[in-house]
A and B are shown apart, each in its own frame.
Chain A
């Protein structure tokens, strides 16, 4: 009977397996960031390996991915490809990310392990799909492992004498993908179906050739069919370059060293991460951050982190963070969150480690189901950065506390990097008659956080790619009808501190020579700072979007040039362009058509400050004054530094006296810790705040008001009303009251 029952169970299992409705990404599969179990083949290869041969084999494979990256950067057409938002990489046969190009966005590659593993799981032995040499796979749906659908991934298997030994992938942030708004990152997406192309990992070619019908379908689905075809080919040929180099490595050193390198690099990384973590003092750091909008409405979305270190285990617990948003795209799939954390560790904590996914493998990451970091399958994610980057900053600030006390450091202790993609996403018809939808490389101008002993650097690089860059405006103007009238570093835009964060630049954007062109912006941080300071340093300031409409600035420049101003404070405070309307907004601008000569102003943010402002060397303050980075008000009020405004000669005496007074005043303002807690901490968020996430107790999660409470571990989706409906309703009420 028992045997029969067992058979029945198997029969049911077989039946269910054969009648699967949809091979979507399975939740357990997508949550697992550990390495695949080592295979016998890998064990044998490692056992037989000569360390010196492994070393040169690794060097060859690394050079191959670097060459592929350089090539892809050159021949890709997407702005993302041209300015550094791409990567080339190699995976083990089971799909673990092992070798990554030195340049590019590691986060992309880290997410693709899930895409590769999906192919291994579902298609490798599928009689209809299968995997053979020369096959080309492709996907962009972030739910299968990705940040958002604008990042498109090409994957190819590598076979040696019939044996699958590796996977190759090339990835580019493509921009346009046919979403509800141009540019591939719609903030207006209310459902996954508004996010444009949603390709699950599928085969799109064989024998190194694309299926033309599939390519045509892709082109048919997007606003830039030219970009689609150019970059498909670019990614394919860049992948083939890796394939060629792996083949040469096998010819030169044998297949075993190649297999051994792919696996052993991962195992060695795991061991080293454990060793390094074990050096940190045991303890727990709690940190929170807030995303201040969904890009559609102002609200407070909490990112909650408890970072615990015990022995060689680091646990990153994000429970207590906001519930998911059913109809807003600021949800980050867990793979993207983990990829971000991997990027953080490999760029800001251990830049000397090999770049692969194993850095995170020995760590534990805990997220609540149906939270913004583990959203349901049906919720959109095209603006996942709006919660993912705050998670990055929160973790960065928390890690600084461990690193400060670590006896061994691989790089400097650093305050959080500025974390928002401040740029214009554009769409429309160019001066050359081409339909486009993409973004400007200014997103790469994030400012660096202050370091132990050093200020942060201005607009240095995006937090996700060290050498990604901002490009040349003359070349951008030539391709698209965007004219930037000002790109100056913004005065006083600083994360103050003993060492200050780097400062960002303001952008005056306008369009010229197009009848149909518009902008959108997708950043948070216009109400609540998005990057923290550490050890007493200030966080980034907040930044509004400014609009100057109803005017053609080109007429002003030509006919009344003396009226033009090139800084935000001058033009917005003095309002020198007559007849124009001046307004400020949060920085979640939905796609909006711009008339020629209307001005949109955004600002790249500042990196966080480090240490107490009163400890800042007055000479460093004076250098900032001389460079017009800060005003006299900031020097006097924040840093308590005084000088002769005519000669810029530092007044040491007044400075010392004032600083001393301020220290005394601080002591007087100070209260015992418990007293502070009693006065400061409230049981719940304030009634008027649209707050999402836990407050003082992690197990209680608020969903927009103190009345909407969810239990930790039992979160539900939050549905937001359409802001236009809210506006209409408000106006209707006003009309009703006026009628009365």
Chain B
């Protein structure tokens, strides 16, 4: 296998090159003005390590995969074109009003509680750029009011005259009957044909989001239109550069559903958060490769922490209405829980509850923690870590940021010690304990609402602060094994390299599996089967357009089901792909019942209120060859000589503990290091707390295990535990 996968982030472009048995990681600075430059530099480094020239490598590659935060950044920086919206007359305010919740979407829970002081996010489509068109279709797809074409032409001209550089068409119930949206497109193209200079792209909402919900569908389409031109330009020029250097195949782009597709089968919106979702994808692969079953993927950085959940068995968690930046949208996205906690989280004393609180406010990277000495005056988690002795002021981020301990001391003393009358060390200890506990409880909730118990999971820790806080978080979650993944600094790029080609097609339906009013089971099998066939065909055609042979394509049928008129839409993998009898219908009901029981408690099921399908979803995918990471380590290796000894303070220890400090590059695979210990790498510090042990693996992967806990679990359960 020969492939390159790249994750272009806000600061760094990470590159992961697999060349048969060799795997290489490199990094370059992201070049925002021309992404290809940073991309090629990272690739060049990898080629040099490989000892080959870049043209030769590119011409032999099987694939180039690409994940990016470009769209996210464009959205935050508001660098998109001026968009106009054509919507159903009478519904012009639907987007500005944003269901009410739009004022708070994307804010922290604390900010949401102070919503009266909140402000609607700066709109992407301001009110003057919204024009109503006279038409109406109802929930059944019947035309209530025919499209007034003369009025439509006037409204189109009005928006273009206002300077629209892109048009979104979002009409009521268009997913059930898109006839009016399509006619709007025809008329628009008559007025402004694509072959003319200054042609304006037009996006139809039913083609972007396929489920009911006019607000989320239109918002999805607006974001898509807003990002379209910029993403198209950046990605196309990148593909062109690759072609100039000899790469002959289409470039693949990572999608936020946890799959990938070629550029010509990619909506701009599907690329948002593709980097972090690629990380979850990599975690999914590792859980199989390392045979560890259920995993919590925790990417803890400076500002926030992304949480992904891997439970195996083909089950994936999606957000069907994720919030992107400040916008609720209607496209499925691999679930990522985002916790407002990281190294930059600010600690403060809560005067009411007389306790130390941490986050969600963050000092970010600018001004950053007090110790960065860039003007930040608030004490942060990183400051506490420094005071406790976990961080080397000279070696933080490989020495690129010299930490000033005095600044940390001053900030903690002023903001915490003066209020609480506790010592500096105790304050730092409480900050550490609080942030670990907050993180653990939020993870607990993340899993709890999905019906899982974290005790049965392995914690996969990566990101700048993941290995530093993993033991503390695992303690609270009662997790006894932490895995630091191979190639941790470029884990999202690794995830891109492990992607399968996937697409999702879905359709809103109102279909009773069991109608409690008539006490009857679904009998219209043809309607169900035809809809599934239609969605499978759409998925298949999309993959075949990308040169995938039909025989390699597989489908998974998922159904969003509910009891009665609930809001919840529990997504269930259907046990059958077609219906032909009532036994199969009951199997479907059983699958739903089991899934529901796991999430909300067995016995909470309510089939007596009726069982309904709201969405039929087909996931079409192709399984591609995967890279294996879990190389067995032979024998055990003695730990190297520590580079230093440092006095560290731990939460449950009154006195400081002399702690060995190691450098990661000096630790051989197979080495076991007992905690307390610190392992420093250029991008992260591993804190092995007392009672924990680090076992080094290949490619800088490592296990951090709590053997006492494992023994105690063993004595409780008859099953055996396996530590790789």
Contact = CB atoms under 8 A, between A and B. Distances in A.
Interface of A: 51-52, 54-56, 58-60, 62-63, 66-67, 70-71, 73-77, 81-82, 102-103, 226-227, 229-230, 233-234, 236-237, 240-241, 245, 252, 264-265, 268-269, 271-272, 347-348, 351-355, 411-412, 414, 417, 432-434, 444-445, 448-449, 451, 454, 457-461, 466-475, 477-479, 483-489, 505, 508, 512, 554, 557-558, 561-562, 564, 566, 626-629
In the complex, which of the residues A432, A449, A467 has the most CB atoms of chain B within 10 Å of its own CB atom? A467
B116 A505 contact: no
Contact of A268 (B104, B117, B352): B352
Interface stretch (B124-132, B374-382, B642-650): B124-132
A434 B603 CA distance: 25
Contacts of B110: 352
A472 B114 CA distance: 24
Nearest to A83: B567
Contact of B448 (A67, A486, A629): A67
Contact of B437 (A56, A245, A485, A561): A56
Given A75-B604, A461-B103, A59 B438 contact: yes
B264 interface: no
A272 B352 contact: yes
A466 B216 contact: no
29 contacts: A51-B354, A60-B437, A63-B442, A67-B445, A74-B449, A75-B563, A77-B564, A226-B609, A229-B606, A230-B564, A233-B606, A234-B566, A236-B604, A237-B604, A264-B353, A352-B110, A352-B352, A354-B352, A457-B120, A461-B100, A461-B103, A470-B99, A472-B212, A474-B139, A487-B94, A487-B97, A554-B144, A557-B136, A561-B146
B118 interface: yes
A414 B116 contact: yes
B567 A82 contact: yes
A52 B352 contact: no
Nearest to A410: B114
Given A461-B115, A475-B213, A487-B94, 4 more contacts: A252-B476, A468-B100, A489-B97, A628-B128
Interface string B130-166: 0010101011000111101000000000000000000
Interface stretch (B6-14, B85-93, B183-191, B681-689): B85-93
Interface string B105-120: 0000110111111111
Given A234-B604, A268-B354, A475-B212, A77 B609 contact: yes
A479 B109 CA distance: 31
B99 A627 contact: no
A666 to B, nearest CB: 31
B161 to A, nearest CB: 13
Of B97, B112, B353, the most chain A CB neighbours within 10 A belong to B97
A240 B597 CA distance: 13
Interface in B416-431: 430
Given A82-B567, A467-B112, A457 B119 contact: yes
- Of B96, B173, B357, B601, the most chain A CB neighbours within 10 A belong to B601
B100 A460 contact: yes
A489 B91 CA distance: 9
A52 B434 contact: yes
A642 to B, nearest CB: 20
B449 A70 contact: yes
Given A445-B97, A487-B91, A557-B144, A63 B355 contact: no
Interface of B: 89-94, 96-97, 99-101, 103-104, 109-110, 112-120, 126-128, 132, 134, 136, 138-139, 143-146, 148, 172-173, 212-216, 351-357, 430, 433-434, 437-438, 441-442, 444-445, 448-449, 476, 510, 516-518, 563-568, 600-601, 603-604, 606, 608-610
Nearest to A475: B212
A470 B90 contact: no
B604 A63 contact: no
A59 B120 CA distance: 29
Most central of A71, A471, A558, A562 by chain B CB within 10 Å: A71
A412 B609 contact: no
B602 to A, nearest CB: 10
Contact of B116 (A60, A354, A411): A411
Contacts of B353: 55, 58, 264-265, 268, 354
A154 to B, nearest CB: 13
A59 B215 contact: no
Contacts of A554: 144
B170 to A, nearest CB: 11
A347 B354 contact: no
Given A52-B430, A75-B604, A470-B100, A102 B563 contact: no
B104 A488 contact: no
Given A233-B606, A348-B116, A467 B93 contact: no
A348 B114 CA distance: 7
Contacts of A62: 441
B113 A466 contact: yes
Contact of A444 (B100, B173, B448, B609): B100
Given A353-B352, A434-B517, A448 B116 contact: yes
Contacts of A252: 476
Given A63-B441, A488-B90, A505-B93, A467 B101 contact: yes
Given A229-B609, A432-B517, A467 B104 contact: yes
A52 B428 CA distance: 12
Nearest to B172: A474
Given A55-B353, A347-B113, A557-B136, A433 B212 contact: no
Nearest to A483: B138
A56 B433 contact: yes
Contacts of B96: 458, 489
A58 B104 CA distance: 25
